[in-house]
Chain A
Amino acid sequence: MKEMIEKTSIGPAVLKQYMKEAAAEGCRLVQIHANRMDGRYELIYSLALEYRLIQLYMVILEDTEIESISSIYPAAQLYEQEMVELFGVKIRNVAEDPHVKLYHVKGHPMK
């Protein structure tokens, strides 16, 4: 079986709706991570449906606040928390447990 990777660009306005539909289809969340760009972040959301990998690319400005998807995929909480702590990405309603602290770091070392 050859690995199929689908790449799609997505905007912050439709992120949550896309995730709702993906979850209803049976996609599982594989991971989320941030890439640093000049004055922007590229966020990559990886979903998988069986062996098919779907990579969603979302480019946002540094001060753009995006919506958390942890209400749809609870496991997103850890990935979002990681992006907040290491990169300083602004995410609304990031954690259902606001006292969770993943990394003992000062500031945002990968910003």
Chain B
Amino acid sequence: MKRTIVPFGPQHPVLPEPIHLDLVLEDEKVVEAIPSFGFVHRGMEDLASKRDFNDYLYVVERICGICSYMHGMAYCEGAERIFGVEIPDRAKYLRTIWCELSRLHSHLLWLGLLADAFGFEALFMQSWRVREKILDMVEDSTGGRLISSVNRIGGVARDMDSAMLAGFVAQFDKMESELRALTKVFLTDSTVRARLFEVGVLTKQDALLYGAVGPMMRASGIELDTRKLGYAAYGKLDFDIITSNGCDALARCEVRIGEIFQSFRLIRQAVDKIPAGEIYIPVSGNPKGEATVRVEQPRGEALYYMKANGTRNLERFRVRTPTFSNVYSLLKILPGAQFADVPLLILTIDPCISCTER
């Protein structure tokens, strides 16, 4: 059969960030996808060796807007490991609460984008309406809606008083009730299922082989979540790892929705258990040594490698973002898919090109 190559991106309505795929088609079926990135690569890893390690925190937070908080936190965790300092317990709980607020707004963002991609405008708007309440909480507690800049090497820069925390939790019941109604539509509505069920199947074996991480991996039946390593205050909190054996786009939706409810559960526990006390301990000097940190971002496991040589600059900073790891799985689920499903399948990995183009 005659093959046609259709260029997809780097500018495309489904994704405001630049990624280019050459889609090789036979009729309407994709037989191969050839990627090209690097349109907005910023050389941030290289910049680490030229900036003071304290100043560089502000750069790390700008690797990506949606994952900004977790990039900053992981960087601080790495630096704290090199310095060999243990931050105060209250700071660990505050970090955990902000992490979960980040996960909530990221997953709700994704649900809205997914609904928009399959043409369900009302579902898109309802998802983002709930997300706005989370962003309001982030703004109230940090002063910023996306880039919060509350992490410091040695703890956090802002506290949340008990009234604020109680106020957040008081809103959760209503939000959960609204989200349960949306969940019913996402997972059972026939028009949604027609677009997601058995589309973009990634088997458990392939997920392992192709390096899938996060919800993409858990939707293929692999029960792994880096939060179980116990960084920040996760070691003192209970949560379930949400998995699905569906392996398709619907399973990825199901896992992310399940994780939203687990985030509410984690924040409630953290608010109950957060101890009083300091939120920061001063850390001085220049770091020397090496640290590897893994954290569970909304899009999956991220790995940070930091090497310091006793000067004010890091010798090497490396971040492997979840999208970089999930791209290969995307390239493997596209062959065999219908051309019309390509935007949807790209979205199901929850791509963050800013992270990838660090």
The interface size bin for chain B is 35 or more
Question: Known contacts A1-B228, A2-B230; is A46 also within 8 Å of B303 by CB?
Answer: yes
A68 interface residue (CB < 8 Å to B): no
In the complex, the chain A residue whose C-beta lies closest to that of B40 is A104
B316 contacts which of A2, A28, A35, A100 (Cβ < 8 Å)? A35
Contact status A73-B209, CB under 8 Å: yes
Contact status B301-A30, CB under 8 Å: yes
> Which of A31, A46, A110: most chain B CB closer than 10 A?
A31
- The stretch that binds A, out of B30-38, B55-63, B146-154, B170-178, is B30-38
Contact status B320-A53, CB under 8 Å: no
B211 contacts which of A75, A101, A104 (Cβ < 8 Å)? A75
* Interface members, chain A 31-63 (any B CB < 8 Å): 31, 33, 35-36, 44, 46, 50-51, 53, 55
Task: Name the distance in Å between A99's Cβ and chain B's nearest Cβ.
Answer: 6
Task: Name the distance in Å between A48's Cβ and chain B's nearest Cβ.
Answer: 8
* Interface members, chain B 110-134 (any A CB < 8 Å): none
> Which of A36, A53, A75: most chain B CB closer than 10 A?
A75
Contact status B209-A75, CB under 8 Å: yes
Contact status B46-A53, CB under 8 Å: no
> In the assembly, what is the distance between CA of A5 and CA of B328, in Å?
25
Question: Known contacts A97-B34, A110-B45, A110-B46; is A53 also within 8 Å of B209 by CB?
Answer: no
B271 interface residue (CB < 8 Å to A): no
> In the assembly, what is the distance between CA of A101 and CA of B307, in Å?
28
A44 contacts which of B46, B305, B329 (Cβ < 8 Å)? B305
B235 contacts which of A1, A75, A77, A109 (Cβ < 8 Å)? A1
Contact status B230-A30, CB under 8 Å: no
| Contact partners of B301 in chain A: CB under 8 A | 30
Task: Name the distance in Å between A89's Cβ and chain B's nearest Cβ.
Answer: 14
| Contacts between chains A and B (CB distance < 8 A), count | 84
Question: Known contacts A5-B292, A28-B208, A29-B211; is A78 also within 8 Å of B303 by CB?
Answer: no
Question: Known contacts A1-B229, A75-B325, A101-B38; is A109 also within 8 Å of B210 by CB?
Answer: no
> In the assembly, what is the distance between CA of A97 and CA of B35, in Å?
10
In the complex, the chain B residue whose C-beta lies closest to that of A103 is B38
Residues of A within 8 Å of B, CB-based: how many?
33
| Contact partners of B318 in chain A: CB under 8 A | 31, 33
B274 interface residue (CB < 8 Å to A): no
B224 interface residue (CB < 8 Å to A): yes
Task: Name the distance in Å between B221's Cβ and chain A's nearest Cβ.
Answer: 14
Proximity string of chain B (228-265) to chain A, C-beta cutoff 8 Å, 1 when within and 0 when not: 11110001000000000000000000000000000000
Contact status B41-A104, CB under 8 Å: yes
Task: Name the distance in Å between A9's Cβ and chain B's nearest Cβ.
Answer: 14
In the complex, the chain A residue whose C-beta lies closest to that of B39 is A104
B43 interface residue (CB < 8 Å to A): yes
In the complex, the chain A residue whose C-beta lies closest to that of B293 is A3
B294 interface residue (CB < 8 Å to A): yes
B324 contacts which of A50, A78, A101 (Cβ < 8 Å)? A78
- For this complex, 23 residue pairs linking A to B, each with C-beta atoms less than 8 Å apart, are A29-B211, A30-B294, A30-B301, A30-B320, A30-B325, A31-B318, A31-B325, A33-B305, A36-B316, A46-B320, A51-B224, A53-B292, A53-B294, A55-B292, A74-B210, A74-B328, A75-B211, A75-B329, A100-B35, A100-B36, A104-B39, A109-B46, A110-B45
- By a beta-carbon cutoff of 8 Å, the part of chain A in contact with chain B is 1-3, 5, 26, 28-31, 33, 35-36, 44, 46, 50-51, 53, 55, 73-75, 77-78, 97, 99-105, 109-110
Q: Please give 13 more A-B residue pairs, beta carbons under 8 A apart, in addition to A31-B320, A102-B36.
A: A29-B211, A30-B294, A30-B303, A33-B305, A35-B307, A50-B224, A53-B294, A75-B329, A78-B324, A100-B36, A102-B37, A102-B38, A103-B41
